[in-house]
Amino acid sequence: MFYPEMLKADADRQRFDEMCAGFSGFLQDCNHCLVMAWKIVHEAAAGTGEEYHTSILLLARHVIESVDGIAILVSKSGSHPCQPLLRSALEAALGVLYILEKDTKQRALAYQVAHAHKKIKLYDRLDPTTQAGKELRRLLDGDPMEGFFSDLPFLNYPKMIANLQSMLARPDFQPIEAEWQRAKELNKKRDPE
């Protein structure tokens, strides 16, 4: 962002601004293509009644939002702050490609199962009444972040966890959930990927 001020001539700054605007425009054009593809897939998926499309659509939307942010930063010559967004967009795009490579339905549902378990674990740790919640608060005793957890608004974490568990109990998720539990049993220290 401070690079233009380091240039000596107004003509150099103008060329630099034009270059940033050109790259930003290119990114916006790319994003427009992604949005069109997202809409086509969303419309096609909506008619199927299948749940597994959600993983692909949400990951693609993440790419779209990240690239949009990158375009804005590039337009203002903020190249360095683009790095986390680029990394995040790349990881999401690789996730989509992995899901679409083969066994798409199974891989997409597995992504949802893993994501649900991450949320369950998070909710369990945020709930001050659970063992995990009490342990987290014990670890944070005296830490500056301790107040953050005390000031969280009331959320019904048991209800949120029950909602996710009911999703995992649905017939389309049951085989993947059973495999997740089997893999978790083999390695109790880490959640399955």
pLDDT digits (tens, 9 = 90+) for 158-177: 999 999 999 999 999 999 99
Q: Which two tokens stand for residue 156?
A: 């019904």
Backbone angles phi, psi at 10, to 5 degrees: -60, -35
CA distances from residue 42 to 39, 67, 87 in whole angstroms, order as listed = 5, 19, 25
Q: Please report the pLDDT score of residue 31 as a whole number.
A: 95
pLDDT < 50 stretches in the chain? none
Question: Do 80 and 135 touch, CB atoms closer than 8 A?
Answer: no
Q: Please report the pLDDT score of residue 88 as a whole number.
A: 97
Q: Please report the pLDDT score of residue 51 as a whole number.
A: 83
Backbone angles phi, psi at 20, to 5 degrees: -65, -40
CA atoms within 13 A on the CB side of 24: 17
Q: Please report the pLDDT score of residue 2 as a whole number.
A: 58
Let me know if 62 is exposed, middle or buried by CB neighbors in 10 A (0-12, 13-18, 19+): middle
Question: Do 133 and 121 touch, CB atoms closer than 8 A?
Answer: no
Q: For residue 50, how many other CB atoms are within 10 A of its CB?
A: 13
Question: Do 56 and 109 touch, CB atoms closer than 8 A?
Answer: no
3-state secondary structure of 172: coil
- Tell me the C-alpha distance between 167 and 161, whole Å: 10
Q: Please report the pLDDT score of residue 182 as a whole number.
A: 93
Q: Where are the beta strands (DSSP E) in the chain?
A: none
Q: Which two tokens stand for residue 145?
A: 């972040």
What counts of helices (H) and strands (E) characterise the chain? Answer: 9, 0
- Tell me the C-alpha distance between 83 and 88, whole Å: 9
Q: Treating both helix axes as pointing N-terminal to C-terminal, what angle do 53-75 and 10-46 enclose, rounded to 10 degrees?
A: 170
- How much is the pTM? 0.80
Q: For residue 14, how many other CB atoms are within 10 A of its CB?
A: 12
